[in-house]
Structure 1
Amino acid sequence: MKLIAKINTTGMLFLSLITTAFAHSDISQTSQASTKEPDGVLFKNVQIFDGKSNKLTAPMNVLVRGNKIQSISRSPIQTTNDTIVIEANQKVLMPGLIDAHWHAMMAAMPVSKLLTSEVADFNFSAAAEANNTLMRGFTSVRDMIGPTFSLKRAIDSNIINGPRIWPSGAIISQTGGHGDFRMTYEIPSSSASHSRGEQIGGGVIADGPSEVTKRVREQLMLGATQIKLAAGGGVSSQYDPFDVAQYSEEEFKAAVNAAENWGTYVSVHAYTHRAIQAALKGGVKVIEHAQLIDEPTIKMMAQKNAWLSSQAFLDNEYSNPQQGEARVKQIEVQKGTDNAFKLAKKYKLKVAWGTDILFDPKMAKNQGAILATMTHWYTAPEVLKMATSTNAELLALSGPRNPYPGKLGVVEEGALADLLLVNGNPIENINLVSNPETNFVVIMKDGVIYKNTVAK
């Protein structure tokens, strides 16, 4: 058991370099390390949202030892003098939140800086944002594009603070696809060096089954826990229309075979029925977005037991309006969001939730508020289950590539101790997650307390 994440001596130089990156973050809430390891943490007199139920438990006591929940009991739990006791006074203990579509390297850096700054600059920005993400109560993220491998290693080595990360690495795209980030002056590729997107590990281009296989293997070699392909046009990509389906069935099969050989799966970026159907025929298990899906394609997803990983894209204060043609595409997606979720509910699809925030430090702060908007389609308990136990099921699809084996997204004996203590009842008022600074009084990841503002 640790009170805070320890800092490896090998990481001291890196940590000193990024100290300024945390100057305006919430890291000041992290307690100083004690000289003696505590003998567990006891949450005393908590109501529990366990990640699976629609209601809270009666007042309980929860003991964390090491990185797991050891005991949950209505009766008093014996402790030692070295146990940290948190008097909860019937506050709500719940699993840490999970964002199934995050961009750890790109969420909080404007695209202009991403395209022009040195790689070290956005590494430092991402390090600060990783701590901010954790302080918003998101203890796990599924990263869906970007060179996140070093950031993940730094977090796992306790060099910096941040959530658990399941990285996809670079998005794999056909020429002219959603992940082809080249400018027109960089074509043909034989006369130009790799594009900025390729250089920083944001995307790679692969055409034909053999190239796709190679690029999938490269991302797995780098540490990807799952693979992401571009199956259709996007909002933020400049040169690919929505109606264009990308990759053939044979190319999808090549990607799926390469991923499954490593015990994991392929997810695809796709909005339209054409793109989704081609991916499903190629064996893809997870569809990202799907706001422009139709009913026959939803039926096909249900028949194939495929996952929908989608986002609450609405024309609201969290929409991050685009410009020009991208704005036209964005509005089309927003108009399709309601229909997509209604169809997903009708056919009982497995639905994961994520934010997909890109290039906007102000929007990144609204991660919890965006989760709360899911009550347009689901009840508060359903939304909270989606962002905890359901998203944890999706993370587990990575099989032997899962970097954090163990139960996540639940509060039960033997589960990994990723926990939030909430000042209020999020089942009755889900908007509590919109203000984590005030309402999340304890944040724990892997048995480590990163925030504790409960009165001693």
Structure 2
Amino acid sequence: MKCCEAVLTEAGWINPCLCGAPETQAAMDRIEADITRRQLIGGMSAVVGMFAGFGLAPTEVRAQSPGRPTLLTNLRFFDGQTLSVQTGRDILVDGGRIAAILPAGTGPGDADIIDCGARTVTPGLIDCHWHATLASVSQTAALTQDIALIHLISGQEAGATLRRGFTTVRDTGGPVFGLKTAIDRGVLPGPRVFPSGAMISQTSGHGDFRFLNTLPRMPGDPADHTERTGVAAIADGRDEVLRRTREQLMKGASQIKIMAGGGVSSLYDPLDTAQFLEEEMDAAVRAAADWGTYVCAHVYTPEGIQRSLRAGVKSIEHGQLADTETIKMMREEGAWWSIQPFLADEDANPKSDPIQQAKQKQVAEGTIRAFEEGRAEGVNMAFGTDILLNPGGSQSQGRQLTKLARFMAPLEALRMATGAAGELLALSGPRDPYQGRLGVLEEGAHADLLVWDGDPETSIDFIQDPETNLRLGMKAGRVFKETL
């Protein structure tokens, strides 16, 4: 007898097959659901296994009770704003936020307790000038390698960045949107990312890394490798700048990055050049303002900085060659100075070409004066590193922060990478992908907290060695490291 074939009995025709019976259909639904679940688990395991090969598997470091708050006790803390270390308080974390800062011993009885052992708690660190996809690859790799390799390396670097205590970065150029999404979805660990997307550059500008043998560019020519992969966007004239700016906003940029002057890493734009006409800059600024956000500008020289400020740029990146008039203009315009300790020392981005080396030396000579006069004039200043095209160089990220203590008190330096940096990030307004205060320990702020062995009132050198001195790290209320 064939399946589903009816047979004649004394009682009439009967179909012995129960394929269509409700009970059978319910059983089949259960089997199908189980198979789907197993496939999903298998797929997730494959993804986790892939990242585990890089040491990136998203594991839970400390058992935290779902739905219960966490209370940090027995601590001293720097709140990211006040230039002193405070005592006599506990920090209550709930739902990824700081729920309260309470008198010691008054926390709720149902909270999970973390005893900090009288150590110092600080906000998570913020690097305001970071290149998540370009920090750990060479310039040759960035210009020639398959972009998939660059993304895998950036995934590995993201986990290392977080373990150094940098819970947030402002990415100032590169194809970072996919990495940001993966981190936000928990596919792999990493810092919060404020993405700029492709760096917008004029022809011959700091973001134009084409080889000379590709010139001239003719209508209909394909885009260069760096443009196709989202590293840079070359734009000339107001209309093209508008288009490229709007494209990055469409992709999810929280702020826009333009190249307003010569750079060190690029070979064909002298450091003293001003780049983009003021009307071109104005186009980027207005397009960003229409989306409620702002433009930051790579620039070193007085002319480039002043042109940027007149166009409405809100954040000057680098600026080590600014003169006194320009520094005062930054203060008067209320602009931010995102500045790095470029000192041409062992942590400098390596440059083998004599042209690059000469430009790097010139920038380093202006760094000390820039810090000293910027502080004296009261310019808003935030910390960044700009580790770029430098495999292995990212390990100096915390050490570069400690160098700020050469120019200011330790807590003031730490504030540049916490509370002050958080204020700069807030300029993204409605384009802020995380919506909430960062870089501070206060009620309602994001619960990004670090527990250190060290006293930041006397020195921040302990930040140089997070492997040893970072005893507990928390991002969004979840512990990613603990060696208490």
Query: Which of structures 1 and 2 has the larger relative contact order (alpha carbons within 8 angstroms, sep 6+)?
Result: 1
Q: How does 1:203-352 map to 2 (within 5 A)?
A: 203-323=232-352, 324-352=354-382
Looking at structure 2, the residues matched to 38 and 221 of structure 1 have their Cα atoms a distance apart, in angstroms, of 36
> Under a length normalisation based on structure 1, what TM-score does the superposition of the two structures give?
0.93
Task: Give yes or no for contact 1:44–1:62 (8 Å, CA) kept in 2.
Answer: yes
* 2:53 is equivalent to residue 20 of structure 1: yes
Cα shift readout 1:263-299 (whole Å, capped 9, x = no counterpart): 0001100000111111111111111001111111112
Which runs of 5 or more residues in structure 1 are unaligned?
A: 1-7
TM-score, with structure 2 as normaliser:
0.88
Deviation at 1:193, TM superposition (A): 2.5
| Structure 2 counterparts to residues 122-141 of structure 1, below 5 A | 122-141=150-169
Cα distance in structure 2, aligned partners of 1:77 and 1:92: 20
Contact residue 200 and residue 244 of structure 2 kept, 8 A: yes
Which secondary structure state, in structure 1, belongs to the residue aligned with residue 265 of structure 2?
Answer: coil
Distance (whole Å) between structure 2 residues aligned to residue 19 and residue 121 of structure 1: 16
1:77 alignment partner in structure 2: 106
Deviations 1:40-66 (A, max 9, x none): 211111111111112111232111111
Contact 2:340/2:385, CA 8 A, preserved across alignment: yes
Given that residues 62 and 482 in structure 2 are in contact (C-alpha distance below 8 angstroms), is that contact kept between their aligned partners in structure 1? Answer: no
For residue 32 of structure 1, report the CA deviation from its aligned partner: 6.7
Pair 1:441 & 2:471 matched = yes
| Aligned ranges 1:30-41 → 2 under 5 Å | 31=61, 37=66, 39-41=68-70
> Given the alignment, which residue of 123, 127, 131 partners 1:103?
131
Residues 80 and 419 in structure 2, CA contact (< 8 A), matched pair in contact too: yes
Residue 159 of structure 1: aligned partner = 187
Q: Does 1:147 align with 2:180?
A: no
Q: Is 1:366 the equivalent of 2:396?
A: yes
Instruction: Give SS of 1:46's match.
Output: strand
Q: Identify which of 187, 190, 198 aligns with 1:170.
A: 198
Q: Does the CA-based 8 Å contact 2:294-2:314 persist in structure 1? A: yes
Question: What is the match of residue 377 of structure 1?
Answer: 407
Greater Cα radius of gyration, structure 1 or 2: 2
- Offset, 1:80: 4.7
Secondary structure of 2:417's partner?
helix
Note the C-alpha offset of 1:92.
Answer: 0.7
> Contact 2:255–2:293 (CA<8 Å) still a contact in 1?
yes
- Which range moved further: 289-298 or 54-63? 54-63
Shift of 1:189: 2.1
Identical amino acids, percent of aligned pairs: 44
Quickly say closer, same or farther: Cα 1:11–1:130, change in 2 above 3 A.
farther
Letter in 1 for 2:171: D
Matched with 1:43 is 72
Aligned-residue offset at 1:194:
1.7
- Runs of 5+ in structure 2 lacking a partner? 1-39
How many residue pairs are counted as aligned between the two chains? 442
- 2:90 is the alignment partner of 1:66: no
Shift of 1:31: 1.8
For 1:376 and 1:407, locate their aligned partners in 2 and report how far apart those are by CA, in whole Å. Answer: 28
**Are the equivalent residues in 1 in contact too, given 2:72–2:90 (CA < 8 A)?**
yes
Q: Deviations over 1:153-178 (max 9, x none)?
A: 00000111000000000010111111
Q: Is the 8 A contact 1:30 1:452 kept in 2?
A: no
Q: Per the alignment, do residues 11 and 312 of structure 1 end up closer, same or farther by CA in structure 2, a change over 3 Å counting?
A: farther
Q: Does 1:119 align with 2:152?
A: no
SS in structure 1 of the partner of residue 117 of structure 2: coil
> Which one of 384, 397, 415 corresponds to residue 354 of structure 1?
384
Indicate the SS of the match to 1:415.
Answer: coil
Task: Find the aligned partners of 1:38 and 1:452 in 2 and give their Cα distance.
Answer: 21
**213 and 262 in structure 1: CA distance in 2 versus 1, 3 angstrom threshold:** same
Instruction: Give the match for residue 429 of structure 1.
Output: 459
CA contact (8 A) 1:231 1:270 kept: yes
User: Could you tell me which residue of structure 2 aligns to residue 5 of structure 1?
Assistant: none
